[in-house]
Amino acid sequence: QKEVEQNSGPLSVPEGAIASLNCTYSDRGSQSFFWYRQYSGKSPELIMSIYSNGDKEDGRFTAQLNKASQYVSLLIRDSQPSDSATYLCAVNAVVGGAQKLVFGQGTRLTINP
């Protein structure tokens, strides 16, 4: 079982609709969760971080965390063509004070005008 799993897509959503991206993780002790956006040929850009169960909203983005189900999601409201990118879910694994991000394979999102 992979440590962090995402649906690789591609996920196609019409412009103006809600895009929903999902991620599950295997380490029940994980405490920090992140969503990165990566445009083709670019490096990952941090767009959301979430640490507590529930929802966290930032503009058109909402991250949702359910630690009991080991599930993280990202909602993008009013999707725009500029949202077309690969979205990476990452979980911070901390062992003995050292940290590392464990990434899912990413979901490729396409917003259709």
Partner 1 sequence: KAGVTQTPRYLIKTRGQQVTLSCSPISGHRSVSWYQQTPGQGLQFLFEYFSETQRNKGNFPGRFSGRQFSNSRSEMNVSTLELGDSALYLCASSFFVAGDYNEQFFGPGTRLTVL
Interface with partner 1 by CB under 8 A: which residues? 31-32, 34, 36, 42-46, 49, 51, 88, 90, 92, 94-106
Shortest Cβ 14–partner 1 spacing (Å): 28
Give the pairing of strands 32-38 and 45-50: antiparallel
Q: In which element (H, E) is residue 72 found? A: strand 71-76
Distance in angstroms (rounded) separating the CA atoms of residues 108 and 87: 6
**Integer Cα distance of 86 and 88 in angstroms:** 6
In angstroms, give the least distance from the CB of 34 to partner 1: 7
Closest distance to partner 1 from the beta carbon of 58 (Å): 13
Q: Which is nearer to partner 1, 31 or 112 (CB)?
A: 31
